[in-house]
Amino acid sequence: MNPNRNKKTSKTNPALWMIILCVALSALGVLLIIFGINMMNRNTQLREICTEETTGIIIDYYETGEYKRDIDDEVHDSRRAWPIYEYQADGQTYTVQSDVYDSAGKKRYSINEAITVFYAPNNPEMHYLPGESGSASLAVWLCIGFGGLLLLFSIFAIIKFFILDKKPRKR
Protein backbone atom coordinates (compact mmCIF):
# COMPACT_ATOMS: atom_id res chain seq x y z
CA MET A 1 0.00 0.00 0.00
CA ASN A 2 1.31 3.43 -0.95
CA PRO A 3 1.57 5.75 2.11
CA ASN A 4 1.24 8.89 -0.04
CA ARG A 5 -1.99 7.72 -1.64
CA ASN A 6 -4.38 9.33 0.86
CA LYS A 7 -2.46 12.60 1.17
CA LYS A 8 -3.87 15.50 -0.72
CA THR A 9 -1.36 17.04 -3.04
CA SER A 10 -1.75 20.69 -3.76
CA LYS A 11 0.04 22.32 -6.61
CA THR A 12 0.47 26.03 -6.33
CA ASN A 13 0.54 27.99 -9.49
CA PRO A 14 3.72 30.11 -9.53
CA ALA A 15 2.17 32.47 -12.07
CA LEU A 16 -0.68 33.24 -9.64
CA TRP A 17 1.76 34.03 -6.85
CA MET A 18 3.81 36.20 -9.19
CA ILE A 19 0.68 38.14 -10.18
CA ILE A 20 -0.23 38.66 -6.52
CA LEU A 21 3.31 39.78 -5.68
CA CYS A 22 3.48 42.19 -8.65
CA VAL A 23 0.08 43.70 -7.86
CA ALA A 24 1.03 44.15 -4.19
CA LEU A 25 4.41 45.73 -5.02
CA SER A 26 2.82 47.97 -7.66
CA ALA A 27 0.16 49.13 -5.21
CA LEU A 28 2.77 49.82 -2.52
CA GLY A 29 4.93 51.68 -5.04
CA VAL A 30 2.04 53.85 -6.20
CA LEU A 31 1.03 54.61 -2.59
CA LEU A 32 4.59 55.65 -1.70
CA ILE A 33 4.80 57.89 -4.77
CA ILE A 34 1.45 59.52 -3.94
CA PHE A 35 2.49 59.97 -0.30
CA GLY A 36 5.79 61.57 -1.35
CA ILE A 37 4.09 63.94 -3.79
CA ASN A 38 1.54 64.94 -1.13
CA MET A 39 4.37 65.70 1.31
CA MET A 40 6.10 67.77 -1.36
CA ASN A 41 2.90 69.70 -2.08
CA ARG A 42 2.32 70.31 1.64
CA ASN A 43 5.82 71.76 2.06
CA THR A 44 5.35 73.95 -1.01
CA GLN A 45 1.93 75.15 0.17
CA LEU A 46 3.31 76.02 3.61
CA ARG A 47 5.97 78.20 2.01
CA GLU A 48 3.39 79.93 -0.18
CA ILE A 49 0.85 80.49 2.62
CA CYS A 50 3.20 81.40 5.47
CA THR A 51 4.45 84.80 4.39
CA GLU A 52 4.69 86.72 7.68
CA GLU A 53 8.02 86.53 9.47
CA THR A 54 8.56 86.70 13.22
CA THR A 55 11.23 85.77 15.72
CA GLY A 56 10.80 82.76 17.96
CA ILE A 57 12.83 81.46 20.87
CA ILE A 58 13.92 77.91 21.71
CA ILE A 59 12.57 77.31 25.22
CA ASP A 60 13.31 73.61 25.77
CA TYR A 61 13.91 70.19 24.21
CA TYR A 62 11.78 67.08 24.48
CA GLU A 63 14.20 64.16 24.71
CA THR A 64 13.72 60.40 24.38
CA GLY A 65 16.02 57.42 24.02
CA GLU A 66 18.98 56.06 25.89
CA TYR A 67 22.58 55.05 25.60
CA LYS A 68 22.95 51.51 24.23
CA ARG A 69 25.84 49.05 24.19
CA ASP A 70 26.47 46.92 21.14
CA ILE A 71 27.98 43.45 20.96
CA ASP A 72 31.51 44.92 21.05
CA ASP A 73 30.64 46.76 24.27
CA GLU A 74 30.73 50.14 22.51
CA VAL A 75 28.28 52.76 23.75
CA HIS A 76 25.95 54.40 21.21
CA ASP A 77 23.77 57.40 21.83
CA SER A 78 20.23 56.65 20.56
CA ARG A 79 18.72 59.71 22.23
CA ARG A 80 16.64 62.12 20.15
CA ALA A 81 15.67 65.69 20.96
CA TRP A 82 12.82 67.74 19.49
CA PRO A 83 13.18 71.51 19.95
CA ILE A 84 10.27 73.29 21.64
CA TYR A 85 9.91 76.92 20.66
CA GLU A 86 7.63 79.90 21.17
CA TYR A 87 6.69 82.63 18.74
CA GLN A 88 4.26 85.51 18.83
CA ALA A 89 1.79 86.43 16.11
CA ASP A 90 -1.12 88.86 16.30
CA GLY A 91 -0.48 89.44 20.01
CA GLN A 92 -0.77 85.75 20.91
CA THR A 93 2.04 83.41 21.98
CA TYR A 94 2.26 79.96 20.36
CA THR A 95 4.31 77.12 21.84
CA VAL A 96 5.25 74.35 19.42
CA GLN A 97 7.31 71.17 19.42
CA SER A 98 9.23 70.75 16.19
CA ASP A 99 8.44 67.85 13.84
CA VAL A 100 12.15 67.40 13.09
CA TYR A 101 14.35 65.86 15.76
CA ASP A 102 18.05 66.16 16.42
CA SER A 103 20.49 63.77 17.96
CA ALA A 104 20.47 64.65 21.66
CA GLY A 105 24.25 65.00 21.55
CA LYS A 106 24.18 67.34 18.52
CA LYS A 107 21.34 69.81 18.97
CA ARG A 108 20.86 72.44 16.26
CA TYR A 109 19.78 75.15 18.67
CA SER A 110 20.64 76.18 22.19
CA ILE A 111 18.07 77.16 24.81
CA ASN A 112 17.03 80.85 24.48
CA GLU A 113 18.37 81.01 20.91
CA ALA A 114 16.39 83.24 18.55
CA ILE A 115 14.99 81.57 15.43
CA THR A 116 13.04 82.77 12.41
CA VAL A 117 9.46 81.54 12.08
CA PHE A 118 7.19 82.09 9.09
CA TYR A 119 3.43 81.96 9.73
CA ALA A 120 0.19 82.41 7.79
CA PRO A 121 -1.32 85.86 8.35
CA ASN A 122 -4.90 84.52 8.47
CA ASN A 123 -3.98 81.43 10.55
CA PRO A 124 -0.93 82.08 12.78
CA GLU A 125 -0.93 78.47 14.04
CA MET A 126 0.15 77.39 10.55
CA HIS A 127 3.90 77.97 10.42
CA TYR A 128 7.27 76.57 9.44
CA LEU A 129 10.93 76.99 10.30
CA PRO A 130 13.15 77.62 7.28
CA GLY A 131 15.86 75.21 8.46
CA GLU A 132 13.52 72.24 8.85
CA SER A 133 12.90 71.49 5.20
CA GLY A 134 16.01 69.28 4.79
CA SER A 135 14.73 66.12 6.43
CA ALA A 136 11.28 66.60 4.90
CA SER A 137 12.91 66.79 1.47
CA LEU A 138 14.85 63.62 2.18
CA ALA A 139 11.68 61.80 3.25
CA VAL A 140 9.87 63.03 0.14
CA TRP A 141 12.57 61.80 -2.21
CA LEU A 142 12.97 58.50 -0.36
CA CYS A 143 9.22 57.83 -0.70
CA ILE A 144 9.14 58.77 -4.36
CA GLY A 145 12.37 56.92 -5.18
CA PHE A 146 11.53 53.72 -3.30
CA GLY A 147 7.99 53.76 -4.69
CA GLY A 148 9.36 54.16 -8.21
CA LEU A 149 11.79 51.27 -7.70
CA LEU A 150 8.98 49.00 -6.49
CA LEU A 151 6.87 49.96 -9.47
CA LEU A 152 9.73 49.36 -11.91
CA PHE A 153 10.56 46.02 -10.29
CA SER A 154 6.98 44.80 -10.64
CA ILE A 155 6.78 45.98 -14.27
CA PHE A 156 10.04 44.18 -15.14
CA ALA A 157 8.83 41.06 -13.32
CA ILE A 158 5.58 41.09 -15.32
CA ILE A 159 7.50 41.51 -18.58
CA LYS A 160 9.95 38.74 -17.67
CA PHE A 161 7.52 36.14 -16.39
CA PHE A 162 4.49 36.75 -18.57
CA ILE A 163 5.78 38.12 -21.85
CA LEU A 164 9.36 36.96 -22.41
CA ASP A 165 8.83 33.47 -20.99
CA LYS A 166 5.80 32.90 -23.25
CA LYS A 167 7.76 33.40 -26.48
CA PRO A 168 8.84 30.19 -28.19
CA ARG A 169 12.54 29.55 -27.90
CA LYS A 170 14.76 28.64 -30.86
CA ARG A 171 16.33 25.21 -30.77
Q: What is the pLDDT along the chain (171 residues), one digit of tens a residue?
A: 555 555 554 566 777 788 888 889 999 999 999 988 887 777 788 888 999 999 999 999 998 887 777 788 787 777 888 899 999 998 999 999 987 777 767 888 899 999 999 999 999 999 988 877 544 577 788 888 999 999 898 888 888 877 776 665 565
Any domain includes 8: no
Domain that holds residue 60: 32-157
Any domain includes 97: yes
Q: How many domains does the chain have?
A: 1
Any domain includes 163: no
Distance (Å, rounded) from C-alpha 77 to C-alpha 79?
6
Interior/surface letters 98-128, b for 16+ CB within 10 angstroms, e for the rest: beebbebeebbbeeeeebebbbbeeebeebb
Any domain includes 149: yes
Any domain includes 142: yes
Any domain includes 84: yes
Any domain includes 144: yes
Any domain includes 164: no
- The pLDDT, as a whole number, for residue 15 is 73
